[in-house]
Amino acid sequence: GNSVTQMEGPVTLSEEAFLTINCTYTATGYPSLFWYVQYPGEGLQLLLKATKADDKGSNKGFEATYRKETTSFHLEKGSVQVSDSAVYFCARLSGNTPLVFGKGTRLSVIA
Amino acid sequence: NAGVTQTPKFRVLKTGQSMTLLCAQDMNHEYMYWYRQDPGMGLRLIHYSVGEGTTAKGEVPDGYNVSRLKKQNFLLGLESAAPSQTSVYFCASRTSGTLAEQFFGPGTRLTVL
């Protein structure tokens, strides 16, 4: 079936540290892959996306590369800020079926 | 554009009471979704709709009903609320196609006593 597995949190980092949040997906077909972010008290919003192998999505200093050979879409940022504290969700989409989300990873960045 | 809006923002119910959550979108999106979010469980899909007049069950549909009488609205009903339905409910919408961004509402926090 279709599933997404992401690393469990919480992740706590100091400001300016390097961030990686791992995400892997089941390789049924050729899904599109997404990272969504949820700030405290808000709904989810799209952070970045990639639609085919080797595509790199990027936004607000975050990046993720669609790796077909490892079925992964890890989220990275070189230097996190306190304002990046949020919950991050990896998701996959195949055809017109509903998005499948991972369980989310909570990131806390301390000054 | 208001995007995706949800009404109400907060609600407290007693066990056995009924209520309807309203989701509205002004982006002319075909697809609409209802999710619930619980600590440690991520987002779980309750019901969804791929067009006006259509609905389909998601991962956790029991205890909920939905209707999509108008394209812009998607209603989620609880006929007889239970404490297990205490959660934060999110509505979302998107256009068809695999590149389409999914837009989320701000959520409704429901407590069932």
pLDDT of residue B101: 85
The H-or-E segment that residue B15 falls in is none
Q: Which residues of B touch A2 (CB under 8 A)?
A: none
* C-beta atoms surrounding B70 within 10 Å: 11
pLDDT of residue A9: 86
pLDDT of residue A1: 65
CA A39 to chain centroid: 14
Alpha-carbon gap, residue A62 to B75, rounded angstroms: 35
pLDDT of residue A82: 97
pLDDT of residue A55: 95
The pLDDT of residue B96 is above 90 = no
Alpha-carbon gap, residue A8 to B10, rounded angstroms: 29
* Mean pLDDT lowest among A21-30, A39-48, B71-80, B82-91: A21-30
The overall average pLDDT reported for chain B is 94
Contacts of B39 (CB under 8 A, 6+ apart): none
pLDDT of residue A95: 77
The conformation of residue B102, written as its DSSP 8-state character, comes to P
The conformation of residue A98, written as its DSSP 8-state character, comes to P
Report B:41-60 residues touching A (Cβ under 8 A): 41-43, 45, 48, 50, 58
Q: What is the pLDDT of residues B17-31, one digit of tens each?
A: 999 999 999 999 999
Alpha-carbon gap, residue B46 to B35, rounded angstroms: 5
The pLDDT of residue B40 is above 80 = no
pLDDT of residue B97: 77
B40–chain A Cβ distance below 8 A for any pair: yes
For chains A and B, count residue pairs whose Cβ atoms are closer than 8 Å.
Answer: 50
Q: What is the DSSP string of A18-69?
A: -EEE-EEE--SS--EEEEEEE-TTS-EEEEEEE-STT-EEEETTEEEE-BTT
Which residue stretches of chain A have pLDDT < 70?
Answer: 1, 27
